[in-house]
Structure 1
Amino acid sequence: PLPLSYVVHDGPSRHTPLLLLHGLFGSKSNFQSLAKVLVHRTGRKVLTVDARNHGESPHSPLLTYEAMSSDVQHLLRQLRLNRCVVIGHTMGGKTAMALALQRPELVECLVSVDVSPTKTTAASKFPTYISAMTSVNIPNGIPRSTARRLAEEQLRPTIQEAAIRQFLLTNLVESEGRYLWRVNLEAISQHLVDIMNFPDFQLPYPRPALLGGNSSKDYAEIERLFPEAEIEYVPNAGHWVHVDQPQIFTDAICRFL
């Protein structure tokens, strides 16, 4: 396991803390606003975490759900937490489900956003994103605002959606006068099939779960692996549910808790 980068948002409650896991190409910064809202509404301690090969966490050539689950287990031991509530978005949601199925005693309950415990099919654009990001070429020693503008201009011909460009650009960082991507594009490219798939588990998770954004074709597998799961749809929301409908999203989590 790798030592993950994390931020603790402290709350006064002694209830089980919440652990927020981001999606592919994301980082713990994606959930800073949500973490503050959840601390305010629940009183619980909330941890936002960078997955391996993302944000400020270490890089590794390995990027599978078993490995990412192992990283979270290591973090819980490091923080001396006997259990947590895990909330994950897409890749983070699958990591949360893998952790719950591997080590159910560590997960009091889980929330998985916009992903099911099945193969993800809508992945055709990810290789395009990786190729476009790899092709970006930025001169050394220029201001960050200029570097970001140049990077966006180079991404625009391939990635037309402005919101996706802005999301990917959160990974552009400066190191010793050079601009680079903090996300490990090579590892993601090598393990894209693993990220889109889901490990084969036999024993179900016996505790409550809240899942959303699932196709009806996934119901049988959800029921097999998560027999206590509730499924909730958030209206008028796209992939980033917590951004599109923050009030409805946090209401759903608080009701579930």
Structure 2
Amino acid sequence: MKLNSLTVGSGSREVVFLHGLFGQGKNFGTVAAPLGDLATCHLVDLPNHGLSPWTRTFDLDEQAEIVADWISDVIVMPVTLIGHSLGGKVAMRLALRRPELVDRLMVVDISPARNDAASQFDSLVGALRSLNLDTLTSRTEADRLLTDQIPDTTVRQFLLQNLRHKGDSWFWCANLDLLGDSLHQIGGWPPIQSEYDGPVLWVAGGQSPYILPGHTEPMRELFPRMTQVTLKRAGHWVHADEPAAFVELCRAFLGRVF
């Protein structure tokens, strides 16, 4: 499967960014740009997102294998893998299953455990599905129609980046039906008997409910060289809430000798 990606920077480190649910690779553009002297950053659209192809079913290990095959074909060397939320889960599964492809791993505000906080997407997906795309006339109209169900402007605009049009026809570039029907799997963590012994930076948002105290033990069992950092003022979208601090963490992680 040929994944869509955007390349930013020309540094010697090869870095692959994996976004969260209903995101797109380009969401990491403001993080990748300041890293350009250190790294060549590949901002990947996960399967079923952005301009990447869709799959018939959703499975975390299948998603990880698709990304792993893409890394093998396109980059042909171990990479620094940075994954947020769903992208963090895919990144962890990839590192555990194909460790030869991952030089180091950064996991952003997600853990190897079931995340009940992901249930918030139930109502969000329901709101998106309620839009009648056959009668929709503009993105502005879509924004207005969703305001009551999704009152947070930032969240609404983030989700609406998935709404595209060709001529007078509107469509979702994300696989809304599959992802909406797979929220239980997306929020879960299937058992896995493996260990990744490379360096891992685990970044938490201090205002986010996604990483809980009980998640530390399973994280350390799978990733024994894990170091945890919390950005206290950030919510779940850590890189958007604290961009300068997040970039500094990335630079330090890329430059650190392990």
| TM-score, L = length of structure 1 | 0.92
Which stretch shows the higher mean deviation, 31-40 or 109-118? 31-40
2:230 is the counterpart of 1:233? yes
Instruction: Tell me the equivalent position of 2:110.
Output: 115
Instruction: Tell me the equivalent position of 2:87.
Output: 92
2:76 is the counterpart of 1:81? yes
Instruction: Tell me the equivalent position of 2:245.
Output: 248
Instruction: Tell me the equivalent position of 2:35.
Output: 38
2:99 is the counterpart of 1:128? no
Instruction: Tell me the equivalent position of 1:164.
Output: 155
User: Distance between the aligned counterparts of 2:155 and 2:9, measured in 1?
Assistant: 31
User: Distance between the aligned counterparts of 1:216 and 1:141, measured in 2?
Assistant: 45
Instruction: Tell me the equivalent position of 1:5.
Output: 4
Instruction: Tell me the equivalent position of 2:12.
Output: 14
Contact persistence 1:7–1:49 (CA under 8 A): yes
Contact persistence 1:137–1:151 (CA under 8 A): no
Contact persistence 1:3–1:74 (CA under 8 A): no
Change (3 A) 1:137 1:76: same
2:170 is the counterpart of 1:173? no
Instruction: Tell me the equivalent position of 1:209.
Output: 200
User: Distance between the aligned counterparts of 1:74 and 1:175, measured in 2?
Assistant: 31
Contact persistence 2:9–2:33 (CA under 8 A): no
Instruction: Tell me the equivalent position of 1:199.
Output: 190
Change (3 A) 1:168 1:141: closer
Deviation at 1:131, TM superposition (A): 1.2
Deviation at 1:184, TM superposition (A): 0.7
Gap regions ≥5 residues in structure 1: none
SS of the aligned residue for 1:254 comes to helix
Instruction: Tell me the equivalent position of 1:219.
Output: 216
Deviation at 1:164, TM superposition (A): 0.6
User: Distance between the aligned counterparts of 1:141 and 1:180, measured in 2?
Assistant: 10
Contact persistence 1:113–1:212 (CA under 8 A): yes
Residue type of the partner of 1:6?
S
Deviation at 1:77, TM superposition (A): 2.2
User: Distance between the aligned counterparts of 2:85 and 2:99, measured in 1?
Assistant: 20
Gap regions ≥5 residues in structure 2: 205-210
* Equivalences, count: 248
| TM-score, L = length of structure 2 | 0.92
**Identity over aligned pairs, percent:** 33
2:180 is the counterpart of 1:189? yes
Deviation at 1:19, TM superposition (A): 0.1
Note the aligned Cα RMSD (angstroms).
1.5
2:23 is the counterpart of 1:26? yes
User: Distance between the aligned counterparts of 1:255 and 1:20, measured in 2?
Assistant: 16
Contact persistence 2:107–2:203 (CA under 8 A): yes
